[in-house]
Amino acid sequence: MRLKNVPGCRERIAESKYVIPEEELASCAGRWHEIFGREGEIHIEIGMGKGRFIHELASLNPDILYIGIEKYSAVLLRAVQKMEEEPKGNLIFIRMDAENIADVFAPGEVDRIYLNFSDPWPKDRHAKRRLPSREFLARYDKILKADGRIEFKTDNRVLFDWAVEELPGSVFGADVITYDLHSDEKLMEGNVMTEYEEKFSGMGNPICKYIITRK
Ligand code: SAM
């Protein structure tokens, strides 16, 4: 998701109490419960866009601690504005490229990772940038708890098939794979729609989803 540059957005992000200051990120690993001021499972969404999904999850599950990660300030600003309207004590944001995710969390610190409608990076030479790539899965392996899980949703069938083929090159295996989430009554229980999910399912695109855990 690219939004036009919003003048002053970097400054507004830097000043926001809902975003971890960039200079403090290096010291966050292993301290997330202290940062939230309480215990609880830690669930993160990587590439959260405008943050609707994670904001809604934070409302539904007040005991879980949520961290939304987004690369672009102009996009993150929308999530910050939503928090200003409707603050959540169990949700905080990071502006960063998730390539460095293993610097921000201690080994085993994260209970769950959500990847929603990740950018497809269609050129082969950019495959390593895809968030469900084996390179990213190796980073997730470093920070995810032993019984932690990763949930990935997309309407992009080419990206999804590729992501499933990446699994044998990782420590993860699929517990659930569906090519039409919205037709699966059981998997739809508690499903929270993302912005992209609403848009693309509304256009009639089937939504693919996997849930993976360590083999
Ligand atoms: N998850 C949202 C949804 O489903 O509506 C947004 C999907 S949008 C297609 C993908 C988002 O991931 C964009 O906002 C993009 O900036 C972000 N993103 C892509 N690569 C990223 C990375 N390496 N680190 C952090 N964010 C990333």
Q: How confident is the model at residue 5 (pLDDT cuts 50, 70, 90)?
A: confident
Which residues are CB-neighbours of 11 under 8 A, at least 6 positions away?
none
- Per-residue pLDDT, averaged over 39-51, amounts to 98
Tell me which of 117, 151, 200, 208 to substitute to probe ligand 1's pocket, judged by most ligand atoms within 8 Å of the beta carbon.
Answer: 117
Q: Which residue ranges make up each domain of the chain?
A: 9-214
Query: What's residue 6's pLDDT?
Result: 83
Tell me which of 5, 13, 70 to substitute to probe ligand 1's pocket, judged by most ligand atoms within 8 Å of the beta carbon.
Answer: 70
Residue-wise pLDDT tens digits, 178-200: 999 999 999 999 999 999 999 99
Residue-wise pLDDT tens digits, 111-166: 999 999 999 999 999 999 999 999 999 999 999 999 999 999 999 999 999 999 99
Q: Is 119 near ligand 1, meaning CB less than 6 Å away? A: yes
Q: Are 87 and 17 in contact (CB under 8 A)?
A: no
How far CA 3 is from CA of 68, 71, 76, in Å, comes to 18, 12, 10
Q: Are 145 and 111 in contact (CB under 8 A)?
A: yes
- The CATH fold assigned to 9-214 is Rossmann fold (3.40.50)
Q: Which residues participate in catalysis according to the annotation?
A: 119
Residue 77 reports pLDDT greater than 90:
yes
